[in-house]
Amino acid sequence: MIEGVKTKKLRVIPDERGWLMEILRCDEEIFEKFGQVYLTTAYPRVVKAWHYHKKQTDNFTCVKGMMKVALYDGREDSPTYKEINEFFIGDKNPVLISVPPLVYHGFKAIGEEAAYFISIPTLPYNYKEPDEYRLPPNTKEILYDWILTPGEKHG
**85 beta partners:** 71
Phi, psi for 7 (deg, rounded to 5): -130, 155
* Domain locations along the chain: 6-134
Name the pLDDT band for 152 (thresholds 50, 70, 90): low
pLDDT at 141: 95
pLDDT-derived band at 149, boundaries 50, 70, 90: low
User: Are the CB atoms for 41 and 113 separated by under 8 Å?
Assistant: no
Contacts of 122 (CB under 8 A, 6+ apart): 32, 33, 34, 35, 56, 57, 58, 59
Q: pLDDT tens, 53-77?
A: 999 999 999 999 999 999 999 999 9
Tell me what pLDDT residue 29 has.
95
CATH number assigned to the domain with residue range 6-134, chosen from the 4 options 2.60.120.10, 2.60.40.10, 2.40.10.10, 3.90.1150.10: 2.60.120.10
Chain centre to alpha carbon of residue 103:
11
Q: How many CB atoms lie within 10 A of CB 30?
A: 14
Measure the CA–CA gap between 153 and 148, rounded to whole angstroms. 9
CB 107 within 8 A of CB 49: yes
Binned at pLDDT 50, 70 and 90, residue 154 comes out as: low
Integer-rounded Cα Rg, in Å, for the chain is 15
Q: In what order do the strands lie in the sheet with 38-42?
A: 6-9, 95-99, 58-64, 115-119, 38-42
Question: What secondary structure letter does DSSP report for 5?
Answer: -
pTM of the model: 0.93
